[in-house]
Amino acid sequence: MREKQRHKTAAIIGTVTPVPHYPKKLKVYLTNASPFWQAVYWERGKTYRKSTKTTDKLEAFKTAIVFYEQILLAKYSHPSHVESLPISLPASTTLTSSKAKKTFLETYEEWFELKSSKWKQAHTRNVRNRIEKYLLKDLAAKPIKAITQTELLSSLKKLDKKGITHTQHRLLRDCKSIWQYAIATGNCNRDITLNLTIALKSPVYGQQHAVSAEELPMLMSKITAEQTLNDKIKCLALEVIAHTFVRTSELLGATWSEIDFENRVWLIPARRMKMGVEHIVPLSNHVISLLIYIREDFSKSDYVFNRLNSTQKLAPDSLIKMLHKLGYKKRMSTHGFRAIASSVLNEHGFNADAIERQLSHLERNRVRRAYNRAQYLSERKDMMNWWSQYLLDCYSSTTKQKY
């Protein structure tokens, strides 16, 4: 018997995919009617559909997530959602009940407890500090439902005078999440953070300074020149970061247990990485000799880079201050070593994917990035040895040091 032909807008079999980490009823799929992925969500017999306007599945996931959140906001903003709850509420319970009068402080603390369990320690501390420092004084005692858009904007605008627009926009992002939580829990029926972005100054992102490849020899000569004992460990740290082009926090948090001298690699655990995935750094002969020298003459604790006569690791701003002392203020940053390495390695024909992998610029897809942890490792080892020799060639014969 001839199979009945499917409508061109029907989902193509095998393409229907649930959006990761979201309800299974939120999916994306392809049809024969459009090249774009379609987002779909079912709830209580009602179907919501939207074209994602993209042929990229990962981008389709992102659009579907925004679509899902818009559905939730529309649902919880409508007074009828209380009547549709699958429980019986007391007759006295209304949107003006004591639950709806929960203060901003109470709502914030509930939201913070829920969200912070998934955050890294530093991010948790930063979120708490900025909300408690800049918002609680004005808003803590007010019922969250009663706070107006003007009142929230007034609190945010106070940061203009301090010139910290980055913090201002991060606060707005935090508030957006808090109000969405309040709507979802029935403590508020309107998201007052909508459209506030246009009333704030755009943040100005500071330039990550980096010298040119032509200026690199002079910089490396200064870093490796004779220094006072107090500056020596900082210059050694700068030399290691130049050869490995890791992030500053990854370098300063390094412990001896992460260094595998036998296999000549440094394995940075996921908890210390920006993207939350462990990272392999191949170590050249020169970097190995630097680490041996540091361990024998400077190490006082499990940290590779200690403060002078202390078991504490170097301060986060110690390297940038050292670059300033060497005469490179507003000319070079520690992040600049990553930019120079990327530029030089690409110019010399190294595999662009291997370079990106060594820079720990990872794919957002968790499964793929976990699988790729050691991708291009053989190429990366050759590349890191080449880069290390490139830097050594930058040193003048009078300042080159042996360890």
CB half-sphere exposure, 371, CA atoms < 13 A: 6
Residue 104: which of 140, 134, 152, 146 has the closest Cα? 140
For residues 195 and 219, membership in a common domain is answered with: no
Predicted model pTM: 0.54
pLDDT, mean over the chain: 83
CATH number of the domain enclosing 395:
1.10.443.10
Whether residue 88 is predicted with pLDDT greater than 60 in this model: the reply is no
pLDDT at residue 402 in the model: 45
- The residues facing 159 across adjacent strands are none
pLDDT at residue 90 in the model: 41
pLDDT at residue 251 in the model: 93
3-class secondary structure, 204: coil
Tell me how many domains the chain contains.
3
DSSP per residue, 360-375: T---S-HHHHHHTTTT
For residues 234 and 359, membership in a common domain is answered with: yes
Whether residue 396 is predicted with pLDDT greater than 70 in this model: the reply is no
Per DSSP, 268 falls in state E
Which residue range is the domain that position 364 belongs to? 215-401
Average pLDDT over every residue of 381-393: 93
For residues 178 and 224, membership in a common domain is answered with: no
Task: Tell me which of 82-86, 127-131, 162-166, 374-378 is least confident.
Answer: 82-86
pLDDT tens by residue, 18-70: 988 888 889 999 988 888 899 999 887 788 888 888 888 888 898 888 888 88
Considering the domain boundaries, does residue 225 fall inside one? yes
DSSP per residue, 31-96: BSS-SS-EEEEEETTEEEEEE---S-HHHHHHHHHHHHHHHHHHHHHSGGGTTTSSSPPPTT--TT
For residues 152 and 291, membership in a common domain is answered with: no
pLDDT at residue 299 in the model: 77
Considering the domain boundaries, does residue 4 fall inside one? no
Report yes or no: 251 and 234 within 8 Å, Cβ to Cβ. no
For residues 219 and 195, membership in a common domain is answered with: no
Average pLDDT over every residue of 255-278: 88
pLDDT at residue 159 in the model: 87
For residues 53 and 121, membership in a common domain is answered with: no
pLDDT at residue 195 in the model: 85
pLDDT tens by residue, 24-34: 889 999 988 88
CB half-sphere exposure, 372, CA atoms < 13 A: 17
Considering the domain boundaries, does residue 98 fall inside one? no
Between the alpha carbon of residue 285 and those of residues 185, 244, 280, the distances in Å are: 58, 12, 16
3-class secondary structure, 140: coil
Considering the domain boundaries, does residue 93 fall inside one? no
